[in-house]
Amino acid sequence: MKIRLEDVTKTFQTFRAVHGVSLEIDSGELVALLGPSGSGKTTILRMVAGLEYPDGGAIYFGAENATHIEVRDRGVGFVFQHYALFPHMTVAENIAFGMKVSKRKRSQADVNERVGDLLRLVQLEGLGDRFPAQISGGQRQRVALARALAVDPKVLLLDEPFGALDANVRRDLRRWLRKIHDELGITTLFVTHDQAEALDLADRVVILDKGKIVQSGTPEQVCRAPENAFVMNFLGDANRLKVDVKSGKASFQDTSFDAHGLPDGPAELFFRPADVAWREDGHGIPATIIRVIDRPDSRRVLALTRNGQAVEFDTAPEFPFKAETEGFLDIRRPRIYALP
């Protein structure tokens, strides 16, 4: 089922949560809504589900205008951040709930068979008689997914599904969710504030800031060609230096960078910590090392430029560290954005 949002707006009392968002999700696509807290991503998801209604704009499911269809008739599967399993029902009863209250009557045998299939799908065979309090967080979230899938939803919506889990469980679960999505081919929209999760899992990442879409594209597009300073900053660590642009050249002290097409005036130069080579001599931005932070796979070096701006860069773990060492920052893949 294809979903289309058309200029959707939502205001909470005085606070505007979503400003004119338009978005298309193709049938079978897995799309991540990525953004910091307060960016409106959960509100968008809840409007697609029908748990909130937009103040303006429209939401289409296929060709049908679904904007004012009630939640219970919308045919969506929703997975909540804190699972929202019914604590007084067993795992199997939780999964069967949607079928039990459905207008489409099924025999008990049909329901049991479907519950068995879903338990197998989420790899929880044998746990059907447990209560939610008796299983782990990761298992609970898988039950929640099975429960959402039990009603054959047209669309699957997940609100920070792995937010409450440990890092390791989280990584396993998202790979597994991707696999399930590929098997079932169901249109899926999920919300996260974790960029690694979005990049790992999604066909397309929609990045939001202050209730607006700031960039939308494949993980490769948003990583390799961030369209603005917000995306550059949000997707990973980034260094920022203030520069001046003059006739297509951005200059920082004696070093200049290509700033083709940017208007003259103050701008910002961004680069990733991995895109810096440290040179004892030669060209680059002069800097002084102040300290290092050791990481399992690299060494993060903190340095100061001559005019006191902090820069971080990654080196091999063998990098010899001596405080107050002077040298040059050779920057690759710089990105320059005009000040907003």
Partner 1 sequence: MARRILPGLPLTLGITLVYAAIIIALPLGALVFKAASLGPEDYWRIVSSERAVASYRVTILCAAAATLFNLVFGMALAWVLVRYRFPGRRIVDALVDLPFALPTAVAGIALTTLFASNGWFGGPLSAIGIKVAYTPLGIIIAMAFTSLPFIVRTVQPVLEELDPALEEAGQTLGATDLEIFSRVLLPQLVPALLAGLSLSFARSLGEFGAIIFIAGNQPFETEITALLAFIRLEEYDYPASAAIASVMLIAAFMMLAVTNLLQARALRYTEKG
Nearer to partner 1, 160 or 268 (CB): 160
Nearer to partner 1, 72 or 295 (CB): 72
**Is-contact 95 146, C-beta < 8 A?**
yes
Nearer to partner 1, 33 or 207 (CB): 33
- Residues near partner 1 (CB under 8 A) are 49-51, 70-74, 76-78, 80, 82, 84-89, 97-98, 100-103, 130-134, 147-148, 150-151
- At closest approach, how far in Å is the CB of 142 from partner 1? 15
Burial letters 133-152, b for 16+ CB under 10 A, else e: eebebbbbbbbbbbbbbbbe
- At closest approach, how far in Å is the CB of 205 from partner 1? 24
**What is the edge-to-edge ordering of all strands in the sheet holding 326-331?**
276-279, 326-331, 285-294, 299-305, 310-315
Nearer to partner 1, 100 or 333 (CB): 100
Non-local CB neighbours of 295 within 8 Å, separated by 6+ positions: none
**Is-contact 289 322, C-beta < 8 A?**
yes
- At closest approach, how far in Å is the CB of 140 from partner 1? 12
- At closest approach, how far in Å is the CB of 153 from partner 1? 8
Nearer to partner 1, 131 or 278 (CB): 131
**What is the edge-to-edge ordering of all strands in the sheet holding 335-338?**
255-258, 249-252, 239-246, 265-271, 335-338
- At closest approach, how far in Å is the CB of 90 from partner 1? 8
